[in-house]
Chains A and B, each alone.
Chain A
Amino acid sequence: MSTTLLVVQTLNGLQFGILLFLIAAGLTLVFGVMDFVNLAHGVQYMIGAYLAATFTALTGNFLWGLLLALPTALVVGIILEVLVFRHLYERDHLSQVLATFGVILFLNEAVKLIWGAAPLGVPVPEMLSGNVVLMDGVLYPVYRLVIIGAGLAVALLLYFGVNHTRVGMLVRAGASNPRMVSALGVNIGRLFMIVFGFGAMLAGFAGIMVAPILSVEPGMGDNLLILAMVVIVIGGIGSIRGAFIAALLIGLVDTLGRSFFGDLLRLFMPAATASQTGRAIAPMLIYILMAAVLFFRPAGLFPARR
């Protein structure tokens, strides 16, 4: 029984990690390429989820919801870029933090005005609502496997896009020396807009994908934003590869820690103390991990080359 539980929990950890990666990828892209601290990334994730809920309800089909919500999330991202973020690129990080924090407050309230304060739900698409039998008596929801697949696809797409395409090359060049790229005749402003819009769309995609398993509610992105920040700090700011590995690491440490840390402690101490200590320390594990990484490798596991 214990090994099957271990397998399931490992899968759960991977799935949580992939979810974190979907959010962190856009964040690290914007942060790394544009040197722009975007706290509003979490609300863009929330907007993706709300759009998915709306369009799924309108069309009655999750796939249509996804196809409509994705470009809308992109448009919302670009509107925000033009209205707010564009004017902040030249400012220091503190101004960026303050302004994007303001955007969080504004959008959280706006969402409440438009959709109401009550949480919304999106049903899991009929086709993907079943369970797969992994082993004897061990079920795993199909939809969660779909999330893992989608995350892996995004990771591949990003890897290929950034490293092997012309736009990707410009993005990398723009990251290391924007003035030179501009002097060579590339419209750096538009490039940044594309990167930002893409980042917003990634956040929106994450929101859309989680809508069927999580409640869609105002402020749903705020907690995840913190975890996404931890991911990009551990992975190395600006590194997609770092974000991928750090996200999986955090997903696994968090899930396995929550489920087995208490049992592990039970080997050394009495049961009651073990479960109490376990439940106190388990939620801290990822932050302990972050502190350790920062101590030994202050730039993160895979610092982006500058």
Chain B
Amino acid sequence: MRGLKKVLLSAVAFAALGGVAQAAPAEKVKIGLVTTLTGPSAVLGQQIRDGFLLSVQQNGGKIGGIEAEVIVVDDEQKPDVAVNRVRGLIERDKVDFVVGPVFSNIAVAMFKPVVQSETFFISPNSGTSNFAGRDCSPYYFVTSYQNDQMHGVLGKHAQNEGLKRVVLMVPNYQAGKDSVAGFKRHYEGEIVDEIYTSLGQLDFSAELARIAALQPDALFTFMPGGMGVNLTKQFRQAGLADKVKFLSAFTVDETTLPAQRDDAVGFFGGANWAPDFDNEQSKAFVAAYEAAFDNVPGTYAMQAFDAAQLLDSAVRGVGGDLSDKDAVRAALMKADFPSLRGEFTFNHNGYPIQDFYLVKAAKREDGKYQTEIVEKIFDDYADDYAGQCRLGS
């Protein structure tokens, strides 16, 4: 009985203290990190989690000088699960920021519950066209890219190089079709064939035989995850690597290279950053990440690290007072942090304006594999949908 009284008393005292401190900075910044940690794509989600937490850890467990509580939840790559869990984060845990997810279809499902509750939503990876354009929100910020841009890099490169005949091969679903559209926006040469495979296809021998028969200058493909590993291995084994230039998006990156190894070396991709990026903060990040997690960080980890830095700068910018949403928004919009990719600014729709590069898979001296920057393709590239967004006008 006495024990209970004590607890009650201290609770009252605590509440009173809280009351006094009303206008002062929040005592704790709560962040819900929604990412994919189970299923075949878990490795992408792990990079995002690790990249984000690395930044928080480097700041001594703080965001903007205030103690941070990061609640990591797994969306299982299922939209319904993601919605349930993010509702819990908002209503039960009362988080100040939601960071996530990996996949665009999950982001689409999470979008409404998050922004309707007027919680700031930071995407470290997915960047769909609708939220960049007509459905943009003042509560939505993207630290990655608009999805089409990554495909556009390869289209632009093929155009610049004067490649005459290109075969496109993508899985037959929405993201695959978007990929084709993104490539075509910047490429004007002849598209010899568009091959649509089933999603999750394992064996590409039939398609590769067809490509060999068509003898194009280049293949552009979008085969995320295990499909990309299978494709690059089989492409190499079929003896096509010396004859057909391999251009890809989300197919050859740090999450798949440990499996693709030598088979993917020399294959091209598009990115907003690569582990060999030449600036101080990026080098420090790559070294710290590799020391902590024993794998090479990809763009996923980089964008999550930047997301944490963004939050840090914004919380600092408002002096820790998160109650004034407009002030928080203005602080986020400034993007006042040393981005790992150097220049980084937000467009009025909350999507980044940044440079894009052609990258190439390579083997490092220590035997690990990474992508490396070949050349800059786009300078300060704003996405193509920003014009449809009415924010800030």
Contact = CB atoms under 8 A, between A and B. Distances in A.
A279 B153 CA distance: 27
Interface in B171-225: 172, 194, 196-198, 200, 202-203, 205-207, 209-210, 212-213, 225
A131 B205 CA distance: 14
Contact of A216 (B206, B209, B225, B259): B259
Interface string A12-41: 110110010000000000000000000000
Nearest to B238: A141
A144 B237 CA distance: 9
B259 A117 contact: no
B40 A219 contact: yes
Given A117-B43, A117-B46, A121-B233, A16 B239 contact: no
A12 B233 contact: no
Interface in B25-66: 38-43, 46
Interface string A250-261: 000001101100
Contacts of B230: 213-215
B243 to A, nearest CB: 10
B237 A123 contact: no
A112 B226 contact: no
Interface stretch (B144-152, B260-268, B308-316): B260-268
A275 B195 CA distance: 9
Contact of A8 (B196, B209, B256): B209
Contacts of B198: 283
B259 A16 contact: no
Interface string B236-265: 011100000000000000011011111100
Interface in A218-237: 218-220, 223-224
Dominant secondary structure at the B interface: helix
Interface in A113-146: 116-121, 123-124, 129, 131, 139, 141, 143-144
A34 to B, nearest CB: 28
A9 interface: yes
Given A117-B41, A119-B229, A256-B206, 19 more contacts: A12-B205, A15-B205, A118-B259, A119-B225, A119-B259, A121-B260, A143-B237, A214-B229, A215-B233, A215-B256, A215-B259, A217-B225, A219-B40, A223-B200, A224-B202, A258-B197, A258-B206, A259-B209, A279-B196
> Ordered nearest first, which 10 A-B pairs have the shortest CB separation?
A215-B229, A117-B42, A121-B259, A119-B259, A12-B205, A118-B43, A117-B43, A215-B226, A8-B209, A141-B237
Interface of A: 1, 4-5, 8-9, 12-13, 15-16, 19, 109, 112, 116-121, 123-124, 129, 131, 139, 141, 143-144, 212-220, 223-224, 255-256, 258-259, 275, 279, 283
Interface of B: 38-43, 46, 172, 194, 196-198, 200, 202-203, 205-207, 209-210, 212-213, 225-226, 229-230, 233-234, 237-239, 255-256, 258-263, 295
